[in-house]
Amino acid sequence: MTTATGSRIVSVGHYQPARVLTNDDLAQMVDTNDEWIRDRVGVVTRRIADNETVADMAAAAAEKALAGSGLTAADIDLVAVATCSSVDRCPNVATRVAAKLGIAAPGAYDINTACSGFSYALGTADHAIRAGAARNVIVIGAEKLSDFTDWTDRATCIIFGDGAGAAVVTAADEPAIGPVVWGSAPEKGETVRIEGWRPYIQQEGQAVFRWATTAIAPIARQACERAGVAPEEIAAFIGHQANARIIDGIAKRLGMPQAVIVKDIVESGNTSAASVPLALSKLVERREVPSGAPVLLVGFGGGLTYAGQVVRCP
């Protein structure tokens, strides 16, 4: 296989379960209300999977992305899945997706960096293509966080949702996926946890909020710089959909207008590694941003980890 100058996202796809859980539904389950959730987090609805697994949702999103790519399963030589909520340790989600889509012998790995996972996985796909280790890659973010939600804890159960988003990435002469900027703050790692002995999402919300609203804007700025794009030239900003106030805070520090900020959190909640590709796929579906326009992706969360890059809209 030959190396390539760069890579690009050719097509995207997403999947969300049918069941909608509203803020009023949650108010029947815990001591909360629609107004608090809208004001403090920005979520109005989220989707909850019933029978679907992480791999089912990942495969459904990947199938849609593949259908729009002009490629077939036989062309795919790498599947990378970002997730932190797959219940099974083995086999991984990537091989299950490959089996469901009939991709015969791809490289197949899962990445767990929680909410920043899609940008990490996209970065590794770009690297693999540039190194000549792959030509056509499916990159997926998929989560079923409802399996790890304590439905009696109002501080967390109102935030999260389930879903998946996927992108088909291929070799390109003109690089259309900017250099990934990634890193972590391990000393703050215990502020978001899903521990084996108590497998529910626990987080020190205020500590993560403070970190995200101060640490992530400089990372986003670096991602723009490394792509050679000024923040004011960004056509859409897709931050991890953790909290609408966090997204606004980052955008404000970057000097970005409201018009470019993507807030899928309103209808999907926080879907961890799925949130960025889900929002990107919906943005492309709505045709809000012209093909080729620069879109800033930035994930952050458990670990605490972060990653971001500027991509050209497919």
56 near 114, Cβ under 8 Å? no
Q: Which is nearer to ligand UT7, 72 or 152 (CB)?
A: 152
Stretch of 12-20, 174-182, 239-247, 256-264 contacting ligand UT7, by CB under 6 A:
239-247
Q: Which is nearer to ligand UT7, 153 or 285 (CB)?
A: 153
| Residue 36 lies near ligand UT7 (rule: CB under 6 A) | yes
Q: How far is CA 74 from CA 60, 71, 136, 138, in A?
A: 17, 8, 10, 12
Known catalytic membership, residue 240: yes
Q: Which is nearer to ligand UT7, 138 or 160 (CB)?
A: 160
Q: Which is nearer to ligand UT7, 106 or 301 (CB)?
A: 301
| Residue 247 lies near ligand UT7 (rule: CB under 6 A) | no
Among 10, 212, 223, 297, binds ligand UT7 (CB under 6 A): 212
Catalytic option among 23, 84, 157, 240 = 240
| Residue 279 lies near ligand UT7 (rule: CB under 6 A) | no
| Strands 6-15 and 19-22, sheet pairing | unpaired
| Residue 271 lies near ligand UT7 (rule: CB under 6 A) | no
d(CA 192, CA 207): 10
135 near 171, Cβ under 8 Å? yes
Q: Give the pair of three-digit tokens for residue 89.
A: 């340790």
Among 2, 51, 206, 291, binds ligand UT7 (CB under 6 A): 206
Closest CA to 301 of 214, 209, 237, 197: 209
Site string for ligand UT7, 163-202 (x = CB under 6 A): -----------------------------x----------
Q: In what order do the strands lie in the sheet with 136-144?
A: 6-15, 162-172, 136-144, 78-82, 107-111
Q: How far is CA 69 from CA 64, 75, 136, 210, in A?
A: 9, 11, 10, 40
d(CA 178, CA 111): 20
Helix and strand numbers, DSSP H then E, in the chain? 10, 13
| Residue 23 lies near ligand UT7 (rule: CB under 6 A) | no
Stretch of 65-73, 126-134, 151-159, 177-185 contacting ligand UT7, by CB under 6 A:
151-159
State in angstroms the smallest separation of the CB of 133 from ligand UT7. 31
| Residue 203 lies near ligand UT7 (rule: CB under 6 A) | yes
CA 75, 132, 13, 85 dihedral sign is positive
Phi, psi angle pair for 98, to nearest 5°: -60, -45
| Residue 6 lies near ligand UT7 (rule: CB under 6 A) | no
Residue list 110-149, contact with ligand UT7 (CB under 6 A)? 115
State in angstroms the smallest separation of the CB of 186 from ligand UT7. 15
Instruction: Return the bridge partners of 167, or none.
Output: 12, 139
Stretch of 7-15, 121-129, 152-160, 259-267 contacting ligand UT7, by CB under 6 A:
152-160
Known catalytic membership, residue 157: no
State in angstroms the smallest separation of the CB of 153 from ligand UT7. 9
State in angstroms the smallest separation of the CB of 272 from ligand UT7. 6
Collapse the DSSP code of 300 into the 3-class scheme (helix H, G, I; strand E, B; otherwise coil) and give the result: strand
Closest CA to 314 of 281, 294, 286, 292: 292
Query: Which residues sit at the interface with ligand UT7, rule CB under 6 A?
Result: 32, 36, 40-41, 115, 154-155, 158, 192, 203, 205-206, 208-209, 212, 242-243, 246, 270, 301
